[in-house]
Amino acid sequence: MCCYIIGLEDLIIDRLNGYVHWKWEDDRRWVKRLLSLHAQEINKEYLFSRAREQKTEEALAKIYQEMEEDQGP
């Protein structure tokens, strides 16, 4: 028996695709929540590389920017 496990970054990309390409707002909230909960574990270089491949890099950058603004000074 074989079991495949998706990485955290790939899960975020999957949700980001749902948000960008199908306009699913729930997926956007999942992206933001996953980024927040796992900020220290995420490989941002890989995440942004995958986002570029999927044409979702702009949305990912915007979500990160919103998260920074939400934290305030």
Q: Give the residue from 38, 39, 37, 29 showing the smallest Cα distance to 63.
A: 29
Question: What confidence tier does 15 reach under pLDDT thresholds 50, 70, 90?
Answer: very high
CA-CA distance, 42 to 12, in Å (whole number)?
Answer: 10
Residues 60 and 27 sit within 8 Å (Cβ to Cβ): no
Task: Reply yes or no on whether the pLDDT at 73 is more than 70.
Answer: no
- The arithmetic mean of pLDDT across residues 51-65, rounded, is 98
Confidence of residue 38 (pLDDT cuts 50, 70, 90): very high
What's residue 4's pLDDT?
Answer: 84
Distance CA 62, CA 33 (A): 14
The residue extents of the domains of the chain are 8-71
Q: What percent of the chain has a predicted confidence (pLDDT) above 70?
A: 99
